């Protein structure tokens, strides 16, 4: 029997969704770090700060999109 949360998502769907938005956000961070390395000359603190800020913003953008996508897919 599947366990459903109040918002109508089972654990599997939530896990899939979390993997998706975390993965996308980490990909953005990776892109940032790679670009910083390619261009070069950035202080380490700036790169770390930039990576953290990119991760936060990416999570904010991808989390609702991914949650809603998987929720809809689950319901259909």
Partner 1 sequence: MGQNESKVTLRIGGMSCASCVAHIETALTDLKGVSKARVNLAAQKAQVEFDPAQTDLSRISQAIQDVGYEVAPDELTFKVLGMRSAHCEGVVRQGLENLPGVVKVEANGNTGTATIWYHATTVSPGEIKQTIRDLGYDVAEKLQAQDALDREREARQREIRRQGLWMLVCWPLALVIMLGTFRDYWKLSVFVPEFLADNFVLFLLTTPIVFGPGWQFFINSWRGLKHGVADMNLLYATGIGAAYLIGVINTLWPEAGFGGAKAVFFESAALLTAFIILGKWLEALTRGRTSDAIRRLMALQPKIARVIRDGKEIEVAADEVLENDLVLVRPGESIPVDGVIMEGYSAVDESMLTGESMPVEKKTGDQVIGGTMNKTGAFRFRATKVGKETALAQIIRLVEEAQASKAPIQKLADMVAGHFILAVHALALTVFFFWFFVGYGNFFDPQSRFLLTPYTLGEIGVFGFSLLLSITVLVISCPCAVGMATPSAMMAGTGKAAEHGVLFKGADAIEATAKLDAVVFDKTGTLTRGEPSVTDVIPQAATFNGPVAEAVNEVLRLAAIAEKNSEHPLGEAIVRGAEERGVEVPDADWFESIPGHGVEAEWKGQKITLGNRKLMKERSVPFEALLAHAEALENDGKTAMFVAANGELAGVIAVADTLKDYSIEAVEQLHRLGLEVLMITGDNRRTADAIARRVKIDRVLAEVLPQDKAEKIKTLQAEGRRVAMVGDGVNDAPALAQANVGIAIGSGTDVAKETGHVILIKEDLRDVVVAMEAAKATMRKVKQNLFWAFGYNVASIPIGAGLFYPFFKLVVSPELAALLMAVSSVSVTLNTLLLKRFAPKVKREKAIPEKTPSLEPSFAGHGIRRR
- Residues near partner 1, by CB under 8 A: 6-8, 17, 28, 32, 35-36, 39, 42-46, 49-50, 53-54, 56-58, 60-61, 63-68, 71-72, 75
Contact present, 32 and 50 (Cβ < 8 Å): yes
Surface-to-core class of residue 21, CB atoms within 10 Å of its CB (0-12 exposed, 13-18 middle, 19+ buried): buried
Considering the complex, state which of residue 1 and residue 5 has its C-beta at the smaller distance from partner 1: 5
Q: How far is the CB of 67 from partner 1 (least distance, A)?
A: 3
Considering the complex, state which of residue 1 and residue 39 has its C-beta at the smaller distance from partner 1: 39
CA angle 43, 40, 30 (to 5 degrees): 85
């Amino acid at each position: 029997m599947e366990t459903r949360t109040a918002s109508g998502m089972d654990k599997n769907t939530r896990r899939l969704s979390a993997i998706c938005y975390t993965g996308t956000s980490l990909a953005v961070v990776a892109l940032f770090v790679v670009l910083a390395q390619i261009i070069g000359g950035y202080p380490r603190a700036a790169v770390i700060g930039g990576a953290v800020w990119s991760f936060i913003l990416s999570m904010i953008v991808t989390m609702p999109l991914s949650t809603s996508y998987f929720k809809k897919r689950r319901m259909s």
